[in-house]
Structure 1
Amino acid sequence: MKNKIVRLLILLLIVAGNLSCDQLSKSVVREKISYLEQVPVAGHFITLTRVENTGAFLSLGQTWPYVLKLILLIILPVATIFAVAVHMLRKQTLSLLTIIALGFIIGGGTGNLYDRVLYGRVTDFVHMDFHLFQTGIFNMADVSVMTGTLLMLAELILRMRRRLSNPAAGPV
């Protein structure tokens, strides 16, 4: 997509939508659900369970020293989000699907980063248990990042298919 203003507007709308959904849902959970309280949504399959995570994905790094958390969970994500956003605005050949995917990833990453900076922890609250498949407790920012990642994977598969059907098109 070549128009820089259109790319920026699409990116901002997707980031704002994901960030708003994440922060609104966390705000409601913090206000309405007590720590470790379990609220069934769909029987035992989907439960809201509020936890406060001072680490990263699946509580990784929860026991790390403060300086390591600062570097790996705040400084590095800020730099990464900034670098990805700048790259997106400069590179005119990114597809619409890639822009949307990166918007989801930036929106979700920013949501959890905002919590870490403001509260020193991230509120997680969704747990799914389908007997054979069970998740950790996560939030809407995590859903945004996973959605963006799946969209990027779809984009990669589409590119590979195009490349295989038209070898003269160049590298993937």
Structure 2
Amino acid sequence: MNRTLFIIILIAFNIAIDQISKVIVRTTMIKGGRGQINVIQDYFQLIWVENKGAFLGMGSDMNPTLRLIFLLILPTLVLAYVIYYIIKTKELDRMSLIAFCCIAGGGIANVFDRIVFGQVTDFFYINLGGVFKTGIFNVADMSVTIGMVILLFSGIFNSKKKENVSV
């Protein structure tokens, strides 16, 4: 498959899955946790909230101008650069390319929400009884996180591979 087409499809897939999940949540749930759904008892729940900030609501109390700069304009510029970088950098290994596409797709999906709705729809919540607990998040957040983890492992794997070659 053409590399650029692969990039476009993977980014579009991340955006589509996120936006479809958010449409389902907005049309079938009650906002604010009153209609929470226990998927796996209290461990994994669906709770619909709207987030005016970034990760875990950070920045939601910023004045509107700062929020526009830090949560819309700056991320848009960074995402544009990431897309430019992955299209132009032919030396990226497949795992790094997939990671960057996940990060870009998730980022674009959340920026889209901020542009269209003025806030981001979040709905996943995990609480493993004090061992592990998340804030409320969405599919785009998962895409970005998975992309970052893949990028981290790809970097570690590639550096170990280079060490073995040079020894």
Q: Hey, what does 1:133 align to over in structure 2?
A: 132
In the alignment, the residues of structure 2 paired with residue 90 and residue 103 of structure 1 have an alpha-carbon distance, to the nearest angstrom, of 13
Shift of 1:111: 0.6
Query: Does 1:159 pair with 2:158?
Result: yes
> SS of 2:37's equivalent?
strand
1:128 aligned partner, one-letter code: I
Name segments (4+ residues, structure 1) moved above 6 Å: none
SS of the aligned residue for 1:133 comes to: coil
Tell me, in whole angstroms, the C-alpha distance in 1 between the residues paired with 2:3 and 2:72. Answer: 26
For 1:74 and 1:7, the matched residues in 2 are separated by 28
Q: Which amino acid aligns with 1:66?
A: P
Preserved contact between residue 10 and residue 99 of structure 1 (Cα < 8 Å): no
1:16-165 correspondence to structure 2 within 5 Å = 16-36=12-32, 37-131=35-129, 132-165=131-164
Q: What do the CA deviations read for 1:79-135 (whole angstroms, capped 9, x no partner)?
A: 111111111111111111111111100000011000000000000000001011111
CA distance in 2, matches of 1:103, 1:67: 29
Give the superposition deviation at 1:166: 1.7
The RMSD of aligned alpha carbons is: 1.1
TM-score by length of 1: 0.92
Runs (5+) with no aligned partner, structure 2: none
- Aligned residue pair count: 164
How far apart in 1 are the matches of 2:3 and 2:74?
25
2:69 corresponds to which letter in structure 1?
I
SS at match of 1:41: strand
Looking at structure 1, the residues matched to 31 and 136 of structure 2 have their Cα atoms a distance apart, in angstroms, of: 13
What is the alpha-carbon distance in structure 2 between the residues aligned to residue 106 and residue 24 of structure 1?
A: 17
**Are the counterparts in 2 of residues 115 and 122 from structure 1 also a CA contact under 8 Å?**
yes
Q: What is the deviation of 1:7?
A: 2.1
> Are the equivalent residues in 1 in contact too, given 2:52–2:118 (CA < 8 A)?
yes
